[in-house]
Structure 1
Amino acid sequence: MFTFTVARRYLLSNRAQSALLVAGVALGVTAFVFITALIQGLAIRLTDEVTANSAHVSLEPVTRVARVLPKPGVETEAVALVSTFQRQQIREWQSTVALLREQPSVSAISTQITGSAFLVKGQAVAPVSVTAVEPENLDAISPISRQIVSGRRSLGADGILIGTKLAETLGLSAGQPVLFRTDRGVERLLTVRGIFRTGVRSADERVAYLSLQSARPLFRLPEGLTNIELKLDDANRARDVAVFLQDATGLRATPWQERNANLEDALTAQAQTGTLIQMFSLISVLIGIASALMLSANRRRGEIGIMRAFGISKSFIATVFVLQGLLIGLVGAAVGCITGYGLCLWLSTLTKADGSMALPIAPGQGGYALVLILTTLGSVLASVIPARSAARLDPLQAIQQ
Structure 2
Amino acid sequence: MDWGSANFKIECRMTFSYELFVGLRYTRAKGGQGRNHFISFISLTSMIGIGLGVAALIVVLSVMNGFQEELRSRILGVASHMQITGPDNVLQDWQHVAAEVKDAPHVKAVAPYIMAQGMLSYGQAVQGAIVRGVLPEDEDKVADLGASMRAGKLSDLKSGEFGIILGVELAQSLGVFMGDKVVLLSPQGQFTPTGLVPRIKQFKVVGLFQVGMYEYDSGLALIHMDDAAKLYRMDSDVSGVRLKLDDLFLAPQVSRQITQQLSDKGNFFVTDWTEQHANFFRAVQMEKRVMFVILALIVAVAAFNIVSTLVMAVTDKRADIAILRTLGASPASIMQIFIVQGALIGVIGTFFGTIGGVLIALNIDVIVPFIEHVFGVQFLAKDVYYISELPSHLLWSDVLTITGMSFVLSLLATLYPSWRASKINPAEALRYE
Would you call these one fold, judging by a TM-score over 0.5?
yes
**SS at 1:109 equivalent:** strand
Query: Which residue number in structure 1 is paired with residue 394 of structure 2?
Result: 364
**1:157–1:38 CA distance, 2 compared to 1 (3 A):** closer
- Distance in 2 separating the partners of 1:129 and 1:24: 50
**SS at 1:230 equivalent:** strand
C-alpha contact 2:57 2:292 (8 A) present in aligned 1: no
Q: What displacement does 1:392 show?
A: 1.3
Q: What displacement does 1:385 show?
A: 0.7
- Distance in 1 separating the partners of 2:294 and 2:119: 53
Query: Which residue number in structure 2 is paired with residue 111 of structure 1?
Result: 111
**1:134–1:348 CA distance, 2 compared to 1 (3 A):** same
- Distance in 2 separating the partners of 1:85 and 1:243: 20
RMSD (Å), alpha carbons: 4.6
- Distance in 2 separating the partners of 1:85 and 1:281: 51
C-alpha contact 1:151 1:174 (8 A) present in aligned 2: no
- Distance in 2 separating the partners of 1:86 and 1:363: 40
Q: What displacement does 1:5 show?
A: 2.2
Between 1:7-16 and 1:366-375, the stretch displaced more is: 7-16
Query: Which of 397, 402, 408 is the matching residue for 1:377?
Result: 408
Between 1:142-151 and 1:295-304, the stretch displaced more is: 142-151
Query: Which residue number in structure 2 is paired with residue 68 of structure 1?
Result: none
Query: Which residue number in structure 1 is paired with residue 32 of structure 2?
Result: none
Structure with greater helix percent:
2
Gaps of 5+ in 2: 1-12, 30-39, 191-198, 381-386
C-alpha contact 2:182 2:202 (8 A) present in aligned 1: yes
**1:4–1:297 CA distance, 2 compared to 1 (3 A):** farther
- Distance in 1 separating the partners of 2:15 and 2:46: 21
Which amino acid in the other structure matches residue 242 of structure 2?
Answer: I
Which amino acid in the other structure matches residue 219 of structure 1?
Answer: M
**SS at 1:111 equivalent:** strand
Query: Which of 137, 142, 149 is the matching residue for 1:147?
Result: 149
Q: What displacement does 1:386 show?
A: 0.4
Which amino acid in the other structure matches residue 317 of structure 2?
Answer: R
C-alpha contact 1:117 1:129 (8 A) present in aligned 2: yes
Aligned pairs (5 A) from 1:35-114: 35-61=60-86, 87=91, 90=94, 91-99=96-104, 102-103=105-106, 109-114=109-114
Identity across aligned pairs (percent)?
A: 18
Query: Which residue number in structure 2 is paired with residue 10 of structure 1?
Result: 22
- Distance in 2 separating the partners of 1:388 and 1:323: 13
Gaps of 5+ in 1: 64-83
Q: What displacement does 1:9 show?
A: 1.4
In the alignment, structure 1 residue 28 sits paired with structure 2 residue 45: no
Q: What displacement does 1:188 show?
A: 12
Q: What displacement does 1:59 show?
A: 3.2
- Distance in 1 separating the partners of 2:182 and 2:155: 16
Which amino acid in the other structure matches residue 132 of structure 2?
Answer: T
Query: Which residue number in structure 2 is paired with residue 219 of structure 1?
Result: 234
Query: Which residue number in structure 2 is paired with residue 400 of structure 1?
Result: 431
- Distance in 1 separating the partners of 2:119 and 2:391: 43
**Could you tell me the TM-score, scaled by structure 2's length?**
0.67
Between 1:128-137 and 1:375-384, the stretch displaced more is: 128-137
Query: Which of 143, 157, 160 is the matching residue for 1:158?
Result: 160
**1:302–1:144 CA distance, 2 compared to 1 (3 A):** same
Query: Which residue number in structure 1 is paired with residue 10 of structure 2?
Result: none
| CA deviation map 1:88-135 (0-9, x unaligned) | 565332231222xx52xx6x63411324487999xx999975534332
Query: Which residue number in structure 2 is paired with residue 135 of structure 1?
Result: 136
**SS at 2:351 equivalent:** helix
Query: Which residue number in structure 2 is paired with residue 80 of structure 1?
Result: none
- Distance in 1 separating the partners of 2:20 and 2:286: 43
Query: Which residue number in structure 2 is paired with residue 228 of structure 1?
Result: 242
- Distance in 1 separating the partners of 2:52 and 2:215: 44
| CA deviation map 1:254-292 (0-9, x unaligned) | 233433354345424532441233122111111111111
**1:210–1:150 CA distance, 2 compared to 1 (3 A):** same
Which amino acid in the other structure matches residue 143 of structure 1?
Answer: L
